Structure 1
Amino acid sequence: MNAVQFACLLLFAGYSSAQVFSSGGCPNVNAQKNFTLNRYLGDWYEVYKFYAAFESGQSCAKAHYELKPDGHIKIVNSGFKDGKAIQAVGDAFVPDAVNNPAKLKLRFSSLAPYGNYWVLDTDYDNYTFIYSCSGVLGITHYEFAWILTRQPNITEEVKTKLFNEAKAFGIDTSNFKVQDRSGCTNNP
C-alpha cells in the first residue's frame, strides 16, 4: 500500500462508521432487466436496511417516488426521529433507460454527487430490493441495501426470497436490520 492509499484509508476511516464497509471489491450484482419506472412510482415502506448514519435513530421510514416533468424522479423520504416528523427530498434519474433501466442515480443534496440506486428485484405491487455499492481504491467497498414493501410489513416468504437473492449475489444479509415500525400509525 502506498502513501496515497494509506492517506485515503485514513480519510475513509471516520466515514466507515457511516455505512457498511467490507473488504475487497463490490459484489457482482445484476439489476432487474425488465424494469418499468411508472409501475415503480408511489409509496414504499422500509422494512429492512443496511445501517446508514443518515438514517440512524429513524423510525417509520417511508419513501414516495413521483415522476417530474423533466423526466427525473422526485423522492420524498419521511419518518420520525426523536418523536418528530422528518423528511428528505431527493432527485433520481435513469442514465441509460434502454440498456439499464433499473440502474438509477440518486442524491439528496445538490452539493452531493449522484450515487448508485440499483433495483435488483421488484414485483412493483409488493416488494423492491435496492442496492448500492462503491469501491474504495480496490481494497474495500461500502454498501447500502434496502427492502421496501407497498404495505408496512413483509411476508416471511418474500423476506426469504430476497435474502436468498442477496446471498446469491454475495451480499451479506447479516447487515440487514429491521426498520422500527412500532407506533407508525401517524406515518408522515
Structure 2
Amino acid sequence: MLQLLFVALSVFGVSQAQVFGLGKCAQVKTQESFDLNRYLGTWYEIYKFNSNFEGKQKCVSANYQLQSNGHVRVDNIGFENGEKKEAVGDGYVPDKNYPSRLGVRFSNLAPYAKYWILDTDYTNYTMIYSCTDILELFHISYAWILGRDRTLDESIENRLFAKAESYGIDTSNFLKEDQTGC
C-alpha cells in the first residue's frame, strides 16, 4: 500500500500542470470517418486543458504537414513574453482501421501519446482528447478545441462542450486561449 501511495504522489507531482483525475480515462468515441488530408494545415488553439509543456504561451497554433513517409509533421508555435516558442513533433496513424486515432510525440526519446480526434468538420473546428490511465486508478488527460480561425462561433463551442460532457470529460478544465494581438 505504501508503494501505491508513493506512485500516486509521484504521478501527482509530475502531472499537476495537466488534468489529473481519479479513475480511468473517459470512454470517448473518435470520429468514424476521418480524412487526414483534409485535416492538414494550420489550426489555432481556442481552448485547452492546462499543460506544462505549453507554459504561459499565447497565440498558439499548430500546423500539420504530410511527410513522404506517411507521417505528419506537427509544428506548434506560440509566444511567451513576446518570444516565439516552437515545438516540432511527429504524428502517425498507428491503426488504419481508426484513422482519427493518431499518435504524436515531440521527442524521439518519448513514446507516442494519444491524439484522438473526437470531432472535426475540417473547415472550422476540431476537438482532440488525450488520456493515459495509470494503474487503472488514476489518469492524466489533455484536451484541445482548435479552429481554422483565431475565434470560434459560440454555438460550435457549446456543441463541442456538450459532446465532451456526454463522454464524461469535465469541461470546466478547459482554459480559453489568448488569441488577441497575434
The residue identity in structure 1 corresponding to 2:167 is: F
1:112 — aligned with what?
110
Q: How many residues align?
A: 182
Q: Which residues in structure 2 correspond to 1:141-160 (within 5 Å)?
A: 141-160=139-158
Q: Which residues in structure 2 correspond to 1:26-105 (within 5 Å)?
A: 26-97=25-96, 99-105=97-103
Structure-2 separation of matches of 1:146 and 1:108:
17
State the Cα RMSD in Å.
0.8
Q: Give the CA deviation at 1:26.
A: 0.6
Residue-by-residue CA offset, 1:131-188 (whole Å, 9 max, x unaligned): 001111111111000000001100011001100000000000000000011211xxxx
1:182 — aligned with what?
180
Q: Give the CA deviation at 1:58.
A: 0.3
Query: Any gaps of 5 or more consecutive residues in structure 1?
Result: none
Structure-1 separation of matches of 2:15 and 2:170:
17
Structure-1 separation of matches of 2:63 and 2:12:
33
Residue-by-residue CA offset, 1:96-132 (whole Å, 9 max, x unaligned): 11x2110000001111111000000000010000000
1:136 — aligned with what?
134
2:8 — aligned with what?
9
Residue-by-residue CA offset, 1:64-113 (whole Å, 9 max, x unaligned): 0000000000000001011111110000000111x211000000111111
1:18 — aligned with what?
17
Structure-1 separation of matches of 2:4 and 2:103:
27
Q: Structure 1 length normalisation: TM-score?
A: 0.94
Query: Are the counterparts in 2 of residues 5 and 137 from structure 1 also a CA contact under 8 Å?
Result: no
Query: Any gaps of 5 or more consecutive residues in structure 2?
Result: none
The residue identity in structure 1 corresponding to 2:33 is: N
Q: Structure 2 length normalisation: TM-score?
A: 0.97
